[in-house]
Amino acid sequence: MDSATLNSYVGAALIANGLHVSDDEKSRISKQFSLILAHADLIKDAQPSADPEQRK
Amino acid sequence: MNIAAHNGLAEKSPLQHDIDATLNAFTATMATRTFSPQQTSDLLSGYTFAVKNLYDVRGMTTLAGSETNIDRPPATHDAVAVRRLIEAGAQLRGTTNMDEFAYGFTTENHHFGATRNPHDLERSAGGSSGGSAAAVAAGLVDFSLGSDTNGSIRVPASFCGIFGFKPTFGSCDMQGVFPFIPSLDHIGPFAPNATLLALTSRVIADNMGDARLPDENKVDGGWRIGILSGYFETHRSGDVEDATEQLYAAFPNAKRVELPNAERMRSAAFLITASEGGCRHATALREDYERIAPGTRERLAAGLIVPAEALANAYQVRRDFLNTADSTLDEFDIVLAPSAPCTAPRIGQEWMTLDGQEVPTRASLGLLTQPLTPLGTPIVAAPLPVKNGLPVGVQIMGKRDQDALVLEFTRHLENLGHVKSAPMPKL
């Protein structure tokens, strides 16, 4: 996700969740969100198993 | 901020005041509440203790390290764990500093200051239960209580050179404990030796069974020992590698075993913590944003907007990891791994070098505890004997509900001198 898309997503998601913050604050949140996305990227291939034994 | 005055409590004793003025381990002390009228045993008579300030203490406001909680009314009851310790004769001396909402590994609290490591005042005591660990390491109290969601007992125990214990998930009554991530939250004690660690654990646990005594003629006590390799060997500083390998060398029959997908589990735990933490504090974020400290609020806000797909993936990784880990670890009674990837960092240190790479300090201190927490297994963080330099800890993990075995094995290792609290520093 490029920087502009990231900032756009973060801004919209914050408002949708009732959080209204300054641009500076939004920038700091975006930085943390990037870190979260980096971890999400590492496990993006995780898929629910179709095997009932593996779904316990 | 004078929290003691805020809570209408006694000021610190002169000795405590002098030492704690240096360490900043306590957020409030109490000289007046000693023996409870409800004392029912003398198991812990004569022992003093402190609790992380996320435990309810009757008459005090439960802060959980946050200014946003200051206006909350004082607790009307002690948390169950606190009550059980008082009923066993222990004397509560105060509440201790922590990372805000328990979301951190350094106890650098924006509102209440940083807790300093008794072994090097320029360094972190670890977190989030850093005040509780520092208070025991400095001898201000005999034992203390902390909480552990991603390593918040094990990391500070390691940095402060004392024993800490994360019991089996769900084995202790959490009533009266301010929650962080309920699916990962544990409570447990810190102590300067394995015997007191076991005694206090037994008092706060709902029903801890017994373990057979070790074969004293064997270093491994007659138990099957595993040593976590791969991820748990890669993420070690030189100091930690030296200290842990010295311990491992005492177990020639131990088997090195890789825990598959530990790194993925760490990422999943990071995501789950961020997301559930953000949701947990959503109301405070909306209504009290400016009073949540910088450094905490932006992480919680970022967690609140984690995409559903990412969170679903994290839960799937956790399910897969638990299925695999159970079978991988089944052949062992005890599994060993370092408690933290490094020794205590300097207070305010933003970056550190690990495995040849620059990594963010605060987020990396839980690298070796975070993947193990979801297993819900009992884990002691025990101090290794280090001749020079800062303390290093090892995780001693057993199977779920085998808390007594883990504690007995730790006592056995302490008797043999393989684990040992760091000498108490002169402050």
- Greatest Cα-to-Cα distance within chain A, rounded to the nearest angstrom: 48
Comparing alpha-carbon positions, the chain A residue that sits nearest to B263 is: A42
Where would I find the beta strands (DSSP E) of B301-368?
334-338, 351-354, 357-360
Beta bridge partners of residue B117, listed in sequence order: B120
- According to the model, what pLDDT value does residue B34 have? 52
Burial class (CB in 10 A: 0-12, 13-18, 19+), B322: middle
Q: How far apart are CA B280 and CA B217, in angstroms?
A: 50
- Which residues, given as ranges, of chain B have pLDDT below 50? 1-11
Structure confidence by residue, pLDDT tens digits, B305-324: 999 999 999 999 999 999 99
Hey, how many other C-beta atoms are within 10 angstroms of the C-beta on B204? 24
**pLDDT value of residue B7:** 42
Own/partner pairs, B3-8, CB within 8 angstroms, 24+ separation: B3/B27, B3/B28, B3/B63, B3/B112, B4/B28, B4/B29, B6/B61, B6/B70, B7/B59, B7/B60, B7/B61, B7/B74, B8/B59
Interface with chain A: mutation pick from B298, B320, B327, B370, highest number of A CBs within 10 Å:
B298
Q: Is B52 a known active-site residue?
A: yes
pLDDT at B9: 40
Supply the mean pLDDT for chain A: 88
Q: Before B128, cis peptide (omega within 30)?
A: yes
B299–A32 CB contact, under 8 Å? yes
In whole angstroms, give the CA distance from residue B85 to residue B335: 29
Active-site position among B124, B132, B147, B152: B152
Residue B415 CA to residue B132 CA, distance in Å, equals: 25
Whether the pLDDT of residue A52 is over 80: the answer is: no
Interface touch B319/A55, C-beta < 8 Å? yes
Q: Mark residue B142 as left, alpha or beta (left: phi above 0; alpha: psi -120 to 50; beta: remaining).
A: alpha
Alpha-carbon span B403 to B170, nearest angstrom? 12
**What are residue B396's DSSP bridge partners?**
B336, B380
> pLDDT (tens digit, 9 = 90+) per residue, B125-161?
999 999 999 999 999 999 999 999 999 999 999 999 9
- Please choose, from the candidates B68, B160, B65, the residue with its C-alpha nearest in 3D space to the C-alpha of residue B113: B65
* pTM to 2 decimal places: 0.94
CB contact under 8 A, A54 and B310: no
B324: left (phi over 0), alpha (psi -120 to 50) or beta: alpha
Give the closest of A18, A46, A48 to B286, CB-based. Answer: A18
Minimum Cα–Cα distance from A12: chain B residue: B305
Write out chain B residues lying below 8 Å of A37, CB-based: 310
Q: What is the ipTM of this complex?
A: 0.91
Answer yes or no: are the C-beta atoms of B271 and A40 closer than 8 Å.
yes
Confidence at residue B218, expressed as pLDDT on a 0 to 100 scale: 92
Q: Are B157 and B148 contacting, i.e. CB atoms less than 8 angstroms apart? A: no
* Predicted local confidence at residue B416, as pLDDT: 96
pLDDT attached to residue B29: 87
pLDDT value, residue B411: 97
- Report CA torsion sign: B185, B191, B197, B199: negative
- Using the Cβ of A35 and the Cβ atoms of chain B, whether some distance falls under 8 Å is answered with yes
Q: Do B301 and A19 touch (CB under 8 A)?
A: yes
Would the pLDDT of A54 be above 70? Answer: no
**CA pair distance B2, B6, nearest whole angstrom:** 6
Radius of gyration of chain B (CA): 20
Q: Do B314 and A19 touch (CB under 8 A)?
A: no
Q: What is the pLDDT of residue B5?
A: 39
In angstroms, rounded to a whole number, what is the distance separating the alpha carbons of residues B2 and B4? 5
Phi-psi map region of B241: left, alpha, beta (phi>0 left; psi -120 to 50 alpha): alpha
Q: Which of B305, B317, B318 to mutate to test the interface with A (most CBs of A within 10 A)?
A: B305
Contact B299, B360 (CB under 8 A): no
- DSSP state, residue B291: G
The pLDDT score that the predictor gives to residue B388 is 78
Contacts with A18 from chain B: Cβ below 8 Å:
282, 286
The DSSP line for B104-122 is -SS-EETTTEEPEETTEEE
